[in-house]
Structure 1
Amino acid sequence: MTPSTTPGTTVPTVAGERWSPALWGLLFVLAGNMLIDALEVSVALVALPSVSADLGLPVAQVQWVVSGFAVGFGGLLLFGSRLVALLGRRPVYLAALLVFAAASLAAGVVDSAVPLVGTRLVKGACAALTAPTGLAIILAVFPQGPARGRAVSVYSFFGAVGFSAGLLLSGLLTEASWRWAFAFPAPVVLLLFAAGLRLIPHDPPGRSTARRYGVPSALALTGATLMLVYAIVSVPGTGWENSRTIGAFVLAALLAAVYFRAELTAEKPLLSLGLLTQGPLVRSALGAAALNGSYLGLLLLSTLHLQRRAGWSSLETGLAFLPASVPLALTALHSGRVAARFGPARLIAAGAAAAPAGYLLYPRDAPSDVRYAVDVLPTMLFVGVAFVLAFAALHLQATGSVPAPRQAEASGLYQTAVQLGAALMIGLTAALYPSGYGPALGLVTAVGLFGFLVALYGLTRREPHAERDVDPDGRPRDETGRHRA
């Protein structure tokens, strides 16, 4: 297939059977950055004990290295979509790449918690700009049909591989210094930026003329999440009656109220709150937040267990987690077809059952003499099964139950819930950690069981769109049966 116009000047189109090198190059630039975004969380998780020891930070503070990225990502995701609509895909995407590279370099040289967490917030905000924009560029360049299906598959595959890649890279790089684990994306992203200057097309004329950026909503949502996580992790050290803790909870509530007021009164809100009445979408968002959040909570506890109590190296820890993430990467290209064949609701329920079953198998006493095949591997295998079954099905259910024009907005709500759920669970797990592994693992298991109950409720509901809105290739259809973008 060949582009009808020169990449970097306007949106190219595709025709024929063979792709040009420029078209493949564009796809790998976008997919490569998706991989970088996906590995940012796993890189930080494996490096946490080293960061904690080097900077002298307790778990309640060092957890911000992970949750800060999730807050920046989830809090600004809807705002990022609006920014792209107003300013254009190409300038926003390229600017975000440059800022991401600069934040990565800064993270490698800071020597205290506040600037390190600041770089993580910035990188999360950049991911909120590039992740949805990369997919939007693919949908603009590749027409509906086999070409778009192949491009989206490659893009999704790189995202699924990213988490596993982060576990390995962090394990290797942290052996030298945790700083390398945070700084290494910089040269990679700069290479992607250089290629993107040539390959990412300019936007066609006709962008949105509505000039509401939604800054108050974006800042209020991000601030509310930050204050809520801060209040949660402050409780073990200061108690519920401490004035700063109470003030943080109150401020979180006030900022949440500001967010909802701004959205309800805006002529063009970042999110149509009417979407919250869509049952399958809300259940998918809650289920995905529970699955992703409980998984990251488990990895936080297991990282601290294996490296602090059992004396494992960062590389050994990263390798130990691979059985939970590699299965998803290996099956990513086929997950949409499986969801279409068996139905998203059934797969979600099966996956949501596998996750807490795995959590229950993890030893509550966190022994120092770890028998990997007995103490860790069964849990990781169950979690791997959970993600293989439920990960794609959750997203397909979220977007397949709303009208075609609202699919992108539904996806934004879904992804926001995933990231903010992760931030809250990391904070809650870190807050319970001083009480022992047992209570913290109990929380992780309870959240996993909540996701299972949500999935079971979904099985009892008859959703008219859930089965027919996904074709055998895993692509959603509109009401007429045609494929959606």
Structure 2
Amino acid sequence: MKPATHTQDPLGAPVPGRWDHRQWGLLSVLAGNMLIDALEVSAMVVAVPAAGRDLGLSLTGAQWLITGFAVGFGGLTLFGGRLVELLGRRRVYLWALLGFAVASLVGGVTDEPAVLVAARVLKGCFAALTAPTGLAIIAAAFPAGPERDRAVSVYALFGGFGFTAGLLLSGLLTTVGWRWTFVFPAPVVLVLFAFALRLVPGDASDPGAKRHLDVTGALALTGVLLCLVQGIVSVPGHGWLDLRTAGPLGLAVVLGAVLVAAERTAPRPLIRWRLLRNRTLVRSMTGAAALNGVNLGLLLLMTAWLQDGLGWSPWRTALGFLPAAAPLALTALPSRKLIARYGTARPIALGAAAAAAAGALCLRHPVPQSYVTDVLPTMLLLGAAFVLSFVALNTQATSRLAAVDRSAAVGLYQSAVQVSAVVVPAVAAALAVGRSDDRPALWFVTAVALAGLAAGLDGLRTRPARAENPLTGE
């Protein structure tokens, strides 16, 4: 792409100037796709009870609608960056968009729960390809400095808004029919694809990169997550010793060993083990994983409470969840001012404390009777947790890493966030099914929150990290 008001240096890098209509169009496509990716998880939260009733699924079965997407996303996040490097941004991005649209259509028309879950996993896989590719395209199309920062900020804003939009849209669509929640992304993504064909600039693969995809590592990681969830959700119905439980859990251990062996012997491993010796990165991964897991775990339990227990409609449930989701969308960009003034450690610790308080507060009334007294305070605390710590965690993660390691570190960080979205809802559902109240599930979610709080408090003992771009690390 050669913008009318931008010139390029002899190496092809964009130089500063006023954005033209093609760059605005390109950013609109990328931000729109980021919006779709972000709302996928929240859209399923509200649709879970209706889909479960229609398909005859218990909470442990219906939770796959949430965790399935996270399995695909978390399993292939690192692999997505490698594909972009070896095959080129344009090719990966366009094919991933088409795959996402097809998976959306398949999920919306099938009556088979297994096919529905498979479609969710595939959508997560394709989202794992478009997410790193979108940032790579921005880096190539917008000059480094204020212009790129502005483009990344728009991109991040749509991501922050996506979770809130997903709740509202799912509340509306599920009132008509939960299948529309699965189908609606397809036409939107196809429109984005049509514009992307014209606007996404061509590029070549990196000629200096070693031609090693590390497919074994990517498949092993995805397999571990799938088997782990299947084993966890089988415990309530079959017990620990039944082959339907022990089999998947045992296979998860075997695949975990395969993953470690593959990553230690691969010429270019997806996981750079030395990065895990960076205490700041690991602390950030722990905090972000805990925050995401607590959020999804509590929302999964509460959507069952509100819809099945109190008889709320999907739309009313979506509105009830807004205090937990909307504050992040409204404050994602201004949060950088908070970080510039106070650093990252204090907001992260306060946010982790709010998340822990949200879980603990639910323990007062494991079977809530009133939204105002039993649900709303938890929603407000979750919203405060995200406002305080979400951007700060992203900023802190790469604050003490060399520039050459930041891309790999961001991949590890995002993978950790998705792994928590796999494990925490699955365990919470397994602990809640068949019980008169959800106290065991709430104790587990609260324990996860306390792990995040421990990581946040540990960060208070270190020197505050400087403010930087939370997505690019610049």
TM-score by length of 1: 0.93
**Structure 1 counterpart of 2:460, one-letter code:** L
CA distances 1:327-361 after superposition (whole Å, capped 9, x unpaired): 11111112223223211111110100011112222
Is 1:467 aligned with 2:461? no
Is 1:123 aligned with 2:117? no
1:259 maps to 259
1:314 maps to 314
Q: Structure 1 residues 410, 377: CA separation in 2 closer, same or farther (over 3 Å shift)? A: same
CA distances 1:384-425 after superposition (whole Å, capped 9, x unpaired): 110011101111111112111110110000000000111000
Q: Name the SS for the 2:109 alignment partner.
A: coil
The answer to whether the 8 Å contact 2:428/2:445 transfers is yes
Query: Equivalents in 2 of 1:54, 1:35: separation in Å?
Result: 28
CA distances 1:418-461 after superposition (whole Å, capped 9, x unpaired): 0011100011011001233111111111111111011112222x
Query: Equivalents in 1 of 2:363, 2:270: separation in Å?
Result: 43
Query: How much does 1:245 deviate?
Result: 1.4
**Structure 1 counterpart of 2:391, one-letter code:** A
**Structure 2 counterpart of 1:314, one-letter code:** P
Query: Equivalents in 1 of 2:27, 2:51: separation in Å?
Result: 35
Q: Structure 1 residues 281, 180: CA separation in 2 closer, same or farther (over 3 Å shift)? A: same
Query: Equivalents in 1 of 2:454, 2:233: separation in Å?
Result: 27
**Structure 2 counterpart of 1:53, one-letter code:** R
CA distances 1:187-240 after superposition (whole Å, capped 9, x unpaired): 100010000000001115644441111100000011011111111111111111
Query: How much does 1:484 deviate?
Result: 5.5
2:294 maps to 294
Query: Equivalents in 2 of 1:126, 1:72: separation in Å?
Result: 8
2:154 maps to 154
User: Bigger shift: 31-40 or 326-335?
Assistant: 326-335
The answer to whether the 8 Å contact 1:363/1:375 transfers is no
CA distances 1:129-187 after superposition (whole Å, capped 9, x unpaired): 00111011111111122111110110000000000000000000000100001100001
**Structure 2 counterpart of 1:467, one-letter code:** A
Query: How much does 1:373 deviate?
Result: 2.0
The runs of 5 or more residues in structure 1 that have no matched partner are 478-482
Query: Equivalents in 2 of 1:239, 1:219: separation in Å?
Result: 28
Query: How much does 1:363 deviate?
Result: 5.8
2:68 maps to 68
The answer to whether the 8 Å contact 2:395/2:473 transfers is no
CA distances 1:244-299 after superposition (whole Å, capped 9, x unpaired): 31222211111011001101011111121111100010111111111100110000
1:269 maps to 269
Query: Equivalents in 2 of 1:258, 1:139: separation in Å?
Result: 34
2:450 maps to 449
The answer to whether the 8 Å contact 1:168/1:319 transfers is yes
Q: Name the SS for the 1:475 alignment partner.
A: coil
The answer to whether the 8 Å contact 1:280/1:397 transfers is yes
2:438 maps to 437
The answer to whether the 8 Å contact 2:368/2:375 transfers is no
Query: How much does 1:368 deviate?
Result: 6.6
Query: Equivalents in 2 of 1:418, 1:99: separation in Å?
Result: 23
The answer to whether the 8 Å contact 2:86/2:205 transfers is no
**Structure 2 counterpart of 1:431, one-letter code:** A
**Structure 1 counterpart of 2:353, one-letter code:** A
The answer to whether the 8 Å contact 1:35/1:161 transfers is yes
Q: Structure 1 residues 46, 69: CA separation in 2 closer, same or farther (over 3 Å shift)? A: same
Query: How much does 1:57 deviate?
Result: 0.6
User: Bigger shift: 240-249 or 155-164?
Assistant: 240-249
The answer to whether the 8 Å contact 2:351/2:389 transfers is yes
Q: Structure 1 residues 3, 230: CA separation in 2 closer, same or farther (over 3 Å shift)? A: farther
Query: How much does 1:2 deviate?
Result: 4.6
1:140 maps to 140
Query: Equivalents in 2 of 1:172, 1:476: separation in Å?
Result: 32
How large is the RMSD of aligned CA atoms in angstroms? 1.9
**Structure 2 counterpart of 1:49, one-letter code:** P
The answer to whether the 8 Å contact 1:340/1:467 transfers is no
1:480 maps to none
Matches within 5 A, 1:39-438: 39-204=39-204, 206-362=206-362, 365-367=365-367, 369-370=369-370, 372-434=371-433, 435=435, 436-438=437-439
The answer to whether the 8 Å contact 1:167/1:318 transfers is yes
Q: Name the SS for the 1:333 alignment partner.
A: coil
User: Bigger shift: 164-173 or 446-455?
Assistant: 446-455
Query: How much does 1:54 deviate?
Result: 0.4
Query: Equivalents in 1 of 2:355, 2:287: separation in Å?
Result: 11
Query: Equivalents in 2 of 1:90, 1:11: separation in Å?
Result: 16
The answer to whether the 8 Å contact 2:88/2:206 transfers is no
CA distances 1:53-105 after superposition (whole Å, capped 9, x unpaired): 00001111111111010010001110111111100000100100000001111
Q: Name the SS for the 1:203 alignment partner.
A: coil
**Structure 1 counterpart of 2:449, one-letter code:** G
Percent of matched pairs sharing the same residue: 56
Q: Structure 1 residues 178, 329: CA separation in 2 closer, same or farther (over 3 Å shift)? A: same
Query: Equivalents in 2 of 1:129, 1:221: separation in Å?
Result: 15
The runs of 5 or more residues in structure 2 that have no matched partner are none
The answer to whether the 8 Å contact 2:87/2:205 transfers is no
Q: Name the SS for the 1:388 alignment partner.
A: helix
Count of aligned positions: 468
